[in-house]
Amino acid sequence: MTFEKQGENPGKGEKVPRRTGAAAGPDDPGGSPAAGGRGRLMRLPGINCRFHEGGHCAVDETMNPGLNEDWRCGEEQRIVRAYDHFLEQAETFDLSSEQATALWERRLATIPPPGGLCADYTPPARCPSCTGGGCGDDADWLDCTHFREGVCVLLLPRCDGICERFQGA
């Protein structure tokens, strides 16, 4: 039995079949990415990962909450800063809690509402069974669909698919 090199005509003038995929060598145009060919390795989507949030990866924020200030929701930060400034003023002028509450409610009516200064603000869809115009309660004062525990999901890094940090949901 004899073996012919690729490109030579074996036996009766027929060409040797071309190897493809992982069987092809790294310099072969039909080679696989693992073998160094020109194919492209694609990851499976990470939608079932517990860190997947709307196409973004929240693993770093989950492991170290608040560490990256760049991911903080700008609207929440704006309102919290306004409230902190108000509390300092109320303390300076020694206002009672009733006076401070009334003053804060008047001041709150003059500043843009939560989401008012964010181009990406997206209110949630309201379910038909809700009455009174909303599904949430007072805890949902910033009802943007991209808001998760002080973080804007859109500012998190994009999820490129299943990676070594993947954890099933």
The secondary structure of residue 24, as a DSSP letter, is S
pLDDT digits (tens, 9 = 90+) for 22-41: 555 555 555 455 555 567 77
What's at 42, amino acid-wise?
Answer: M
Instruction: List pLDDT tens digits, range 40-91.
Output: 777 788 889 999 999 999 999 999 999 999 999 999 999 999 999 999 999 9
Place of tokens 């409610």: 105
Kindly report the backbone phi and psi dihedral angles of residue 65, in degrees, each rounded to the nearest multiple of 5, phi listed first.
-60, 130
Please state, as a whole number, how many other Cβ atoms lie within 10 Å of the Cβ of residue 37.
Answer: 19
Separation CA 128–CA 73 (nearest Å): 28
Report whether 162 contacts 49 (CB < 8 A). Answer: yes
Confidence at 135, pLDDT banded by 50, 70, 90: low
In whole angstroms, what separates CA 147 from the centre of its chain?
A: 11
- Domain residue spans of the chain: 45-73+153-161, 74-117
Token duo for residue 41: 């390795």
